[in-house]
Amino acid sequence: MTFPQQKSRMNLTDERICHELSSQGWSIIDDFFSPTTLAQLTLDCQRGVSFRDLHQAGVGRGSQQAIEVTIRGDQIQWLEAGMTASTDSYLESMTRLRLMLNQKLFLGLESNENHVAKYPPGAFYQRHLDRFRDNDSRTVSSVFYMNPDWQPGHGGELRLHLDGLKHDISPLSNRLVLFISADIWHEVLPTHRIRWSLTGWFKRRQ
């Protein structure tokens, strides 16, 4: 499936994304999908993760992984190809974005992985870097938000820590945030409403 509206918007913003990622390390793209695609994706993600596959997110990698709700309180489900048409479209969009980043910034990104994340009220994710200590393959992080009617008082901002300055980003529906995984310290502030996102990583060979 292709989404012409989304494709043309992507072309218009490619230059800006690349410029911002290379100059400041992060970039925000609003109105990423068409309203219909956004609505279907939001529905599918919420329906999918209310199933049995939703599990408490861990901290760390492989056998070192541990559940630490004092560090992160989200519940996640990894996306696989073939789950729903809308999640497949999301994966395809991320793949197109990956190829664009390779073409323009020569990042050599080989794959992308994504999970749905649900933050129940009260959940947060403490300040961290997305790159693991023993594995440097995560190169660009992506977060896409699906929270209709999000208000300033609902919390749940993505806080970027930029050379001592804080920059808060609201988890508004149809907003995609990209940042350099190795450089940008960030956290999710406590949310007061259920907060939905699709979080992913564009990865290089280790």
Quote the least distance from Cβ 130 to Mn ion, whole Å: 4
Residue 24 or 40 having the CB closest to Mn ion: 24
Task: Tell me how far apart the alpha carbons of residues 105 and 121 are, in angstroms, rounded to a whole number.
Answer: 38
For residue 94, give Cα distances in angstroms to 112, 128, 137.
7, 23, 17
33 touches ligand OGA by CB under 6 A: no
Quote the least distance from Cβ 158 to Mn ion, whole Å: 9
Q: Which of residues 94-153 bind ligand OGA (CB under 6 A)?
A: 117, 125, 130, 143
Check if the beta carbon of residue 84 is closer than 8 Å to that of residue 99: no
Number of residues interacting with ligand OGA: please give it, by CB under 6 A. 9
Residue 142 or 173 having the CB closest to Mn ion: 142
| Residue 196 binds: one of ligand OGA, Mn ion, none (C-beta under 5 to 8 A by kind) | none
Per DSSP, helices labelled H in the chain are 4-23, 35-49, 85-105
Check if the beta carbon of residue 158 is closer than 8 Å to that of residue 171: yes
Q: Which of residues 172-201 bind ligand OGA (CB under 6 A)?
A: 186, 188, 197, 199
Q: Which of 101, 130, 176, 203 binds Mn ion (CB under 5 A)?
A: 130
Q: What is the dihedral of CA 141, 79, 103, 27, to 10 degrees?
A: -30
Which contacts of 57-63 are long-range, i.e. CB under 8 A and separated by 24 or more positions? Answer: 57/117, 60/132, 61/132, 61/134, 61/135
Q: Which stretch binds Mn ion (CB under 5 A): 7-15, 18-26, 126-134, 165-173?
A: 126-134
Interface positions with ligand OGA (CB under 6 A): 117, 125, 130, 143, 158, 186, 188, 197, 199
